[in-house]
Amino acid sequence: MARRSVRLVLALLGVLFAGTGLRAGDLEVHFLDVGHGDCCVIRTPQGKTILVDCGLSLMGWKVRRYLERQGIRRIELLVVTHPHPDHHGGARGVVDAFDVRELVEPGIPSSSRSFTNLIRRLGERKVRHTIARRGAVFTADDVVLEVLAPPDPLLTRGVRSPANANSLVIRLRSGEFRVLLAGDIEAETEAFLLRAEEDLRADILKIPHHGVSTSSTPAFLDAVRPRYAFIPCAFYAEPSRELHDRLHRRGITWFRADANGTVVFRLAGETLTVTAEHGRENSRLKVAPDWFKLLQQTRAVPKKAVGRIQQHVRTKVVALSQVLRQKAAGSWKEDLRRKAVKVGSTLRQKAGQIAERWREAVRSRLPRRTSSENTRA
Ligand SMILES: [Zn+2]
């Protein structure tokens, strides 16, 4: 792809779920904004659909609506990279609404009830169930999906989270064009891939594990050398500063779900175009206030309290998402407005309280000389 002419188009679509207006006959890779979670829709030039992950269950309605608006009825492959709710949660609704032909997952032992229910539901619907490990290959028209990880047997050594470490890592290939979908892998799986694969190069990298600093190691990024990266993150769990620096230093153009919304890559012949729902590329936008970090650094406020405030904000965000879900069901407008106002005022109140406590903490730590000068003034 290095020699190919690559044109970047950033379109302000303006409407949250606007259709992408893409021409038939191109290879399309859609990274959906599902908040904290992954969802990637692949459409082959001949019109077949592959879905990799489906976000949290409360975002399932968005995935379904997106697929419907694309005119999709049948899904050849539903890939669940690992049994965590931010990857399989929305799958239940997809399975009920669309003609899913085959489920592909890594077969990691899981006690998650929602995942077990999903597998049972797929069984009832007679959907083919395939456990895939390194070496498996799936094809849809001329698009090839290669499974690069996890190996068989699964990775266990020095692994922090067995489910994350053994996420399915999929390389999409179409001619020379490559996309690497890296699930939630962390440094140990990246090291495994560096040992196992001679050539990890890809044009687009789906950044692993929502952009945390324990993934996307410099050696891994050097081996993949992507032109573009997509970071699937929500504003309340934003990617690490280290990741931005690593991408910036390597000249990799990145998009973030929280800043850019849904991002669509389209390969038409030799030309790759990018369409982002909103915002600009390479955003370092910080929506989550840095207060949390500042608070953690001040001795006046215990870490536990910071954790509780963060938890509270997250709960409110989830509640707001649930309200948005009701958009699909009947008379939602008035209810939505009232709830949004309520959540907004609570957040403002909490932010005010945090700011006040932080000001107090800073004041109490000022050197005595300064405070006496202040008193005189
Ligand atoms: Zn995840």
Tell how far CA 76 is from the center of its chain. Answer: 22
Q: Are residues 203 and 336 in the same domain?
A: no
What's the CATH code of the domain at 57? 3.60.15.10
Structural domain total, the chain: 2
Residue that terminates a domain, selected from 276, 301, 327: 276
Q: Are residues 81 and 158 in the same domain?
A: yes
Cis peptide leading into residue 153 (ω within 30°):
yes
| CB-based contact 185:215 (threshold 8 Å) | yes
The residue-averaged pLDDT of 331-343 equals 71
Centre of ligand 1 to C-alpha 86, Å, is: 5
Q: Are residues 221 and 303 in the same domain?
A: no
Q: Are residues 300 and 173 in the same domain?
A: no
Q: Are residues 50 and 123 in the same domain?
A: yes
How far is it, in rounded angstroms, from Cα 85 to Cα 292? 26
What pLDDT score was predicted for residue 308? 73
31-60 pLDDT, tens digit per residue, is 999 988 999 999 999 999 999 999 998 889
| CB-based contact 22:28 (threshold 8 Å) | yes
Residue found under tokens 């890594």: 106
Give the range among 51-65, 86-100, 179-193, 363-377 with minimum mean pLDDT.
363-377
What pLDDT score was predicted for residue 319? 74
Q: Is the residue at 10 inside a domain?
A: no
| CB-based contact 65:262 (threshold 8 Å) | no
Q: Given pLDDT bands bounded at 50, 70 and 90, which one contains residue 270?
A: confident
Centre of ligand 1 to C-alpha 192, Å, is: 20
The residue-averaged pLDDT of 323-349 equals 69
What pLDDT score was predicted for residue 17? 32
Residue that terminates a domain, selected from 276, 306, 332: 276
What is the signed CA dihedral for 331, 333, 334, 340, rounded to 10 degrees? 130
Q: Are residues 42 and 177 in the same domain?
A: yes
Q: Is the residue at 14 inside a domain?
A: no
Structure-token pair, residue 254: 């990145």
Quick one: angle between helices 303-325 and 333-364, nearest 10?
Answer: 170
Give the range among 84-88, 95-99, 153-157, 300-304 with minimum mean pLDDT.
300-304
Mean pLDDT across the chain: 84
Q: Are residues 151 and 186 in the same domain?
A: yes
Q: Is the residue at 18 inside a domain?
A: no
Centre of ligand 1 to C-alpha 330, Å, is: 31
The residue-averaged pLDDT of 212-230 equals 97
What pLDDT score was predicted for residue 368? 44
What pLDDT score was predicted for residue 158? 87
Write out 285-337 in H/E/C secondary structure. CCCCCCHHHHHHHCCCCCHHHHHHHHHHHHHHHHHHHHHHHHHHCCCCHHHHH
Q: Are strands 143-149 and 253-256 parallel, antiparallel or unpaired?
A: unpaired
What pLDDT score was predicted for residue 3? 40
Q: Is the residue at 186 inside a domain?
A: yes
Q: Are residues 216 and 82 in the same domain?
A: yes
Centre of ligand 1 to C-alpha 240, Å, is: 15
Q: 257 CB contacts (<8 Å, ≥6 apart)?
A: 31, 32, 33, 34, 35, 230, 231, 232, 233, 234, 263
Centre of ligand 1 to C-alpha 59, Å, is: 14
Centre of ligand 1 to C-alpha 37, Å, is: 5
Q: Are residues 218 and 310 in the same domain?
A: no
Percent of the chain with pLDDT over 90: 61
Structure-token pair, residue 355: 């700011």
Q: Is the residue at 236 inside a domain?
A: yes
- pTM score of the predicted model: 0.73
Higher confidence at residue 176 or residue 288? Answer: 176
What pLDDT score was predicted for residue 346? 77
Q: Given pLDDT bands bounded at 50, 70 and 90, which one contains residue 216?
A: very high
Q: Are residues 194 and 88 in the same domain?
A: yes
Q: Is the residue at 265 inside a domain?
A: yes
Percent of the chain with pLDDT over 70: 78
Length of the chain: 377
Q: Given pLDDT bands bounded at 50, 70 and 90, which one contains residue 76?
A: very high
Q: Indicate whether 365 pLDDT > 70.
A: no
Centre of ligand 1 to C-alpha 167, Å, is: 10
Q: Indicate whether 350 pLDDT > 80.
A: no
Q: Is the residue at 5 inside a domain?
A: no
Centre of ligand 1 to C-alpha 211, Å, is: 10
Centre of ligand 1 to C-alpha 36, Å, is: 7
What pLDDT score was predicted for residue 135? 98
Q: Are residues 185 and 48 in the same domain?
A: yes
Q: Indicate whether 369 pLDDT > 60.
A: no
Q: Containing domain of residue 152, as a range? A: 27-276
What pLDDT score was predicted for residue 366? 52
How far is it, in rounded angstroms, from Cα 317 to Cα 285? 18
Q: Are residues 270 and 341 in the same domain?
A: no
254 in helix, strand or coil?
strand
Centre of ligand 1 to C-alpha 94, Å, is: 18
Q: Which DSSP symbol is given to 82?
A: S
Residue that terminates a domain, selected from 226, 244, 276: 276
Q: ∠ CA 310-315-319 to the nearest 5 degrees?
A: 150
